[in-house]
Structure 1
Amino acid sequence: AMIASIASEGQATRSAPFGHALAALAEQRQDIVGLSADLSKYTDLHIFAKAHPERFYQMGMAEQLLMSAAAGMAREGFVPFATTYAVFASRRAYDFICMAIAEDNLNVKIVCGLPGLTTGYGPSHQATDDLAIFRAMPNLMIVDPCDALEIEQAVPAIAA
């Protein structure tokens, strides 16, 4: 899931805050679409997919296609939320984000899980330079919520 719980016993937690917040937002806005690079279960987008299957797009393990499709949808007036792991967005899809989304200042929301060194999956899943790569692109805003509550609040704020 997007956020792992390290809560103490008895401490309240929220499960899948991104997925629930996006599904709720999509109830109010027909222009919201969700895209995944075969990681919807791990980026909480499966919640959105279940609630709005007609607006969910599974792109397979193809981050370049994910970003290209999101750019095309944004050009048609949709607000795409493209989800994957940070290392795959920043490295595998760099050119596509830069040229198809950032340079044209398109309204695409790139939502990444496992930023930096947050995973034990090994070097292939560790994005030690993801933040630096995204900060160097024009027209991108980075939002880094610190907990489930901020994730829930960030979703409608970035969709505006």
Structure 2
Amino acid sequence: MTLLATATTETAPFDAISEGICERNSDVMFMTADLQPYVDLFAVPKRFPDQFLDVGMAEQNLLSVGAGISKAGYVPVATTFACYASRRAFDQMVICMGTGPRTCVVVGFTPGITSPARIHHQSTEDLAMTRAIPHATVIDPADSTEFAQAMNAAVERGGLVYMRGLRGRVAKLFDPETYRFEIGKTHELKDGGGVGIISTGSATEWVLEASRLLDEAGVEHGVLHVPTLKPARHEEIWAFCEGRKNVFTVENHNIVGGLGGLVAEVMADNGGGPRLKRLGVPDHWAPGGSLGYIREQLGLDSETLMKTFRDAA
């Protein structure tokens, strides 16, 4: 069983993830731009000072320096908030990191609407931006288990990897004993006909909440989790969609260019398919506030999601 019987949480998983990577690989360099405690990097600076670099409050330098040290044989893992990694340092990500074969990992924390601040700290377009970079790998992990396994894969991947990061109290949905992350692979979390629901990242937790409500209401449905936005296994996405009347995508991101865009591309390439409804941040700026409040404002709370899916069943 991929999913835990009861979902739990894990505090600051990136701290243990980064420490474990340094224990196994002395070539990995964890980097930050004056945000070390805010991306849960606590153990590495103390235990592995030679594998930690703080460039100060300069995100463009963070990525360009990371690209530079990759040429000296290091594997840079550049950590900052997703809004800064994507919008502020996008040119450095593309030109300095994205044009070569060397492994460069960028981890963007507080993605989407997970920040209580408004536009300046909300990265609702980072997946669309990074999906457009040639040869890049783009990952949006759903929980602490997947985050750990995806990080281990990222530092061995080769080329540019952009990954959304999870900090603080993080959901633990998947059983680490049975779940296996693999770049590109999708995971069918509920095998069922009727309405199809496709999610990525933290939105998978939202969908699973709504799925339980659908089960209680006796509504047939299926759930597909897509942690890798690029490269994605289009054939697995199409196999899930084919034969259904309605498919929804749910993401902690703008509905333009992210998961919804990926699934729309898959349907177009295969010549049609079911009706697709993209759920996420609409084509306007998201409000500020708690995650629960923002989800309610955008119709992404579990009750509203359940009703939306039920009405299309």
Q: What TM-score does the superposition give when structure 2 sets the normalisation length?
A: 0.46
* Aligned residue number for residue 37 of structure 2: 41
Q: Equivalent of 1:130, from 126, 129, 134?
A: 126
Counterpart of 1:157, as a letter, is A
CA contact (8 A) 1:89 1:112 kept: yes
User: What secondary structure, in the 3-state scheme, does the structure 1 residue paired with 2:20 have?
Assistant: helix
CA–CA distance in 2 between the matches of 1:69 and 1:56?
13
CA contact (8 A) 1:34 1:82 kept: yes
Deviation string, structure 1 residues 27-83 (Cα, Å, up to 9, x no partner): 111101110011111111233222211211111110110001100111111111100
CA–CA distance in 2 between the matches of 1:27 and 1:103?
29
Mark the runs of 5 or more structure 2 residues left unpaired by the alignment. Answer: 1-5, 157-313
User: What secondary structure, in the 3-state scheme, does the structure 1 residue paired with 2:106 have?
Assistant: strand
CA–CA distance in 2 between the matches of 1:51 and 1:112?
23
Q: CA RMSD in A?
A: 1.6
Counterpart mapping for 1:8-157 below 5 A: 12-157=8-153
Q: What TM-score does the superposition give when structure 1 sets the normalisation length?
A: 0.88
How many residues get paired?
151
CA–CA distance in 1 between the matches of 2:8 and 2:132?
37
**Which protein, 1 or 2, shows the higher relative CO under an 8 Å CA cutoff with sep ≥ 6?**
1
Counterpart of 2:123, as a letter, is A
Greater strand proportion: 2
Counterpart of 2:64, as a letter, is S
Greater helix proportion: 1
CA–CA distance in 2 between the matches of 1:132 and 1:28?
33
User: What secondary structure, in the 3-state scheme, does the structure 1 residue paired with 2:42 have?
Assistant: helix
Deviation at 1:11, TM superposition (A): 6.8
Segments ≥4 residues shifted beyond 6 Å: none
Structure 1 stretch displaced more, 61-70 or 149-158: 149-158
CA contact (8 A) 2:22 2:51 kept: no
Greater gyration radius: 2
Deviation at 1:145, TM superposition (A): 0.9
Mark the runs of 5 or more structure 1 residues left unpaired by the alignment. Answer: 1-9
Using the aligned pairs only, state the percent identity: 38
Counterpart of 1:131, as a letter, is L
